[in-house]
Amino acid sequence: MFRAWLLDKPGGIFQAELRDIDESRLPTADVLVRVSHSTINYKDALALTDRAPVVRNWPMVPGIDGAGIVLESRHADWKPGDRWILNGWGVGETHWGCLAERASLRGDWLVPLPPRFDTRQAMILGTAGYTAMLCVQAIAARGLRPHDGEVLVTGATGGVGSVAIALLARRGWKVAALTGKASQEGYLRALGASEVLEREAYARPGKPMQKERWAAVVDTAGSHILANACAQARWGGVVAACGLAQGMDFPASVAPFILRNVTLAGIDSVMQPAAARHAAWAALAEEIDAAQLESMARDLALEQVLDAARALMEGGTTGRAVVTV
């Protein structure tokens, strides 16, 4: 038996319960693992509160992120005792996830835990940190460097935003942080933001072409915030879009892309191939500052997951929630 959060919809009525589950119910896969730490991402919060159709198969154990130790393996790359990280691959949506003491996972989905990190530190980063690095790498891959101008990070107090600010500032970028939480200015400046901007001006409809400012953007919001960020991008700018916290719509014009040669780079963390995942985690191990990483963390017990998910959905959280499983 192992403890896990189980989501179900008997008779169409949603249930979320922390309960004991027999190991025989785990899905079929080639690696059995002990989960040491997990996280609560936005997608996890949506699933745990039934705010969106994240879960595709019922019942479901949520948790798109995990880190821990291999217990049993039929996969050539993994043996008992190996330390692993998991991000995405539909886990917590179509395959039982990591808000549980045990998980049965495909070895092809796992990434070796970099020696620099323990499992808790890896989950402070989690999908949020890994996605932030993918965004930073996408900007660099298109040839942009700090001397090209300023970078805007939206949703700045969230997981992706927090890590993106720290990474970009460490690389030498002048970072502006966009947030609806003015009280967190000190937190954002400690991460490396040189300016903190109020979200409200970006959250409503704006002109399709606005004054050029941003050489690059990391956007976690979508909707009007993304549209306004694109409208303010400089000639040759890159906008890395990875989230939809404001909405899935994109009420924008093609003008910035045609007249200013702006690139809108979509960043998907769920189905990235193994090589990209390994490169992102290797870069995180090399570049993230340990003190800044710790400043983002809030530690939770498995019993606190549902309350934390509700708080996240209400916009009442900052940084990263780390679950000790």
ω into residue 146 within 30 of 0, thus cis? no
pLDDT tens string for the chain (325 positions)?
999 999 999 999 999 999 999 999 999 999 999 999 999 998 999 999 999 889 999 999 999 999 999 999 999 999 999 999 999 999 999 999 999 999 999 999 999 999 999 999 999 999 999 999 999 999 999 999 999 999 999 999 999 999 999 999 999 999 999 999 989 999 999 999 999 999 999 999 999 999 999 999 999 999 999 999 999 999 999 999 999 989 999 999 999 999 999 999 999 999 999 999 999 999 999 999 999 999 999 999 999 999 999 999 988 788 889 999 9
Q: Which residues of 198-209 are buried (b: 16+ CB within 10 A; e: fewer)?
A: ebeebbeebebe
Same domain, 105 and 16: yes
Computed over every residue of the chain, the mean pLDDT equals: 96
What is the longest distance spanned by two Cα atoms in the chain? 60
In terms of Cβ atoms closer than 10 Å to its own Cβ (0-12, 13-18, 19+), residue 115 is exposed
Is 179 inside a domain boundary?
yes
pLDDT at 217: 98
In a shared domain, residues 144 and 210: yes
Asked if the structure places residue 285 within a domain, the reply is no
pLDDT confidence of residue 136: 98
Whether 180 and 205 share a structural domain: yes
Instruction: Return the pLDDT at 316.
Output: 74
Are 75 and 135 found together in one domain? no
Q: Work out the end-to-end distance of the chain between its first and last CA atoms, rounded to an integer number of angstroms.
A: 14
Q: What is the pLDDT of residue 77?
A: 97
Identify whether 251 is part of a domain: yes
**Overall domain count for the chain:** 2
Regarding whether 131 and 109 lie in a shared domain, the answer is no
On whether residue 118 sits in a domain, the answer given is no
- Element of type H or E holding 43: helix 42-49
pTM for the whole structure: 0.93
Same domain, 98 and 170: no
For 45-91, write each residue's pLDDT tens digit: 999 999 988 999 999 999 999 999 999 999 999 999 999 999 999 99
Residue 227 half-sphere exposure toward CB, CA atoms < 13 A: 18
Q: Assess if residue 120 is contained within a domain.
A: no
Contacts of 285 (CB under 8 A, 6+ apart): 114, 115, 116, 117
Phi/psi region, residue 197 (left: phi>0; alpha: psi -120 to 50; beta: rest), is beta
pLDDT at res. 154: 98
Residue 279 lies in a domain: no
Q: What is the pLDDT of residue 308?
A: 94
Beta strands in the chain (DSSP E): 2-8, 15-21, 31-39, 65-73, 83-87, 102-105, 111-112, 150-153, 174-179, 193-198, 214-219, 233-241, 263-266, 297-301, 320-324
Question: What is the domain extent for residue 195?
Answer: 127-266
Alpha carbon distance 248, 144 (integer Å):
27
Same domain, 150 and 246: yes
Instruction: Determine the pLDDT at residue 102.
Output: 98
Note whether 65 and 195 are same-domain residues. no
Lookup result for tokens 């200015």:
185
pLDDT of residue 319: 84
Structure tokens at 196: 């903190």
Domain holding 241: CATH number? 3.40.50.720
Residue 150's pLDDT is what? Answer: 98
Regarding whether 100 and 224 lie in a shared domain, the answer is: no
pLDDT single digits (tens) 296-319: 999 999 999 999 999 999 887 888
Has residue 290 been placed in a domain?
Answer: no
- How is residue 139 written in tokens? 């900007």
Q: Are residues 167 and 238 in the same domain?
A: yes
Q: What's the confidence (pLDDT) of residue 249?
A: 96
CATH number at residue 52: 3.90.180.10
Residue 275 maps to a domain: no
pLDDT at 300: 96
Residues 220 and 304 in one domain: no
Q: Do 232 and 151 share a domain, yes or no?
A: yes
Beta bridge partners of 5: 18
Whole-angstrom CA distances from 36 to 26, 101, 296, 323 are 17, 7, 19, 9
Closest of 83, 138, 135 to residue 111, by C-alpha? 83
